[in-house]
Amino acid sequence: MPRVCVFDVNETLLDLSSLDPHFERAFGDASVRRAWVLQVLQSAMVATITDAYSEFGAVGAASLQMTAERLGVEPSEEDRQKILGGMRELPPHPEVAESLDLLRDAGIRLAALTNSTQAVAEVQLMNAGLADRFEQILSADAVKRLKPAPAPYRFAAESLGISAAELRLVAAHSWDVAGAMRAGCAAAFVARPGMVLDPLAEAPDVVGADLREVAEKILDAENG
């Protein structure tokens, strides 16, 4: 049987660059969005490593405050809400829908696994027009541990009724790929612009420039 493909959501499926106009207005520089994302990841990793837990939305809000303080800027409450609320309305990358359909039509089971809460994940994928592609939408919040801790990947496998080895995590983040593989899963890396693999981690057997290329290589790998 082919592995079940489990997709990360933010940046892998959904395009965060749609938030750039909000950052341009709030900070005068759209590139601050990338600094905010890096702070979100740093704060999430600190929580995971130190056995603490905060909902991912709270991490995002705190990281926005930290980013603003670092830059000496005080965004308005409206700007904060547009940035944080905008996470629920991210569009999919252009090739995502057809790539998911390609896999599903080939008989591959599809699910989503995100650090966002269950409610946010469902709204995100519904607004993006992708929700009906997945048999399950799963949140790391269910185990109160953020990816790349092992627990979310093992929770996903259990929820899908499979072993970790039967799960393939598809993500545009090297840390997510490494976390999944170290939890006993397979992985596929979507090398979106600016995303690179960690040379200190084992490389996945599937790497592609976008989800279409990744989907085609997954089918080759599973049928090979």
**CA geometry: angle at 186 spanning 185 and 190, to 5°?**
125
The percent of residues in the chain predicted with pLDDT above 90, rounded, is 98
Mean pLDDT score of the chain: 97
Helices 56-71 and 32-49: crossing angle in degrees, nearest 10, is 130
- Are 55 and 91 spatial neighbours (Cβ–Cβ below 8 Å)? no
Q: Give the structural domain span for 37.
A: 16-87
68 & 155 share domain: no
pLDDT tens per residue across span 65-93: 999 999 999 999 999 999 999 999 999 99
118 & 213 share domain: yes
| Residue 24 reports pLDDT greater than 70 | yes
41 & 63 share domain: yes
User: CB within 8 A of 106, min separation 6: which ones?
Assistant: 219
Q: What pLDDT shows up at residue 8?
A: 98
171 & 150 share domain: yes
10 & 35 share domain: no
We report the CATH number of the domain holding residue 218 as 3.40.50.1000
94 & 60 share domain: no
| Residue 157 reports pLDDT greater than 80 | yes
Q: What is the average pLDDT across 213-223? A: 94
- Looking at 87, 110, 138, the residue that finishes a domain is 87
| Residue 223 reports pLDDT greater than 90 | no
63 & 102 share domain: no
45 & 96 share domain: no
The percent of residues in the chain predicted with pLDDT above 70, rounded, is 100
Structure-token pair, residue 88: 């629920």
We report the CATH number of the domain holding residue 35 as 1.10.150.240
138 & 161 share domain: yes
Q: What is the average pLDDT across 152-158? A: 98
- Are 136 and 159 spatial neighbours (Cβ–Cβ below 8 Å)? yes
206 & 147 share domain: yes
pLDDT tens per residue across span 102-145: 999 999 999 999 999 999 999 999 999 999 999 999 999 999 99
What pLDDT band is residue 2 in, cutting at 50, 70 and 90?
A: confident
76 & 105 share domain: no
Q: What pLDDT shows up at residue 48?
A: 92
What pLDDT band is residue 224 in, cutting at 50, 70 and 90?
A: low
User: CB within 8 A of 185, min separation 6: which ones?
Assistant: 6, 153, 157, 164, 165, 167, 168, 169
- Looking at 41, 64, 87, the residue that finishes a domain is 87
3-state helix, strand, coil in the chain (%, to 5): 55, 15, 35
Total count of domains within the chain: 2
| Residue 1 reports pLDDT greater than 80 | no
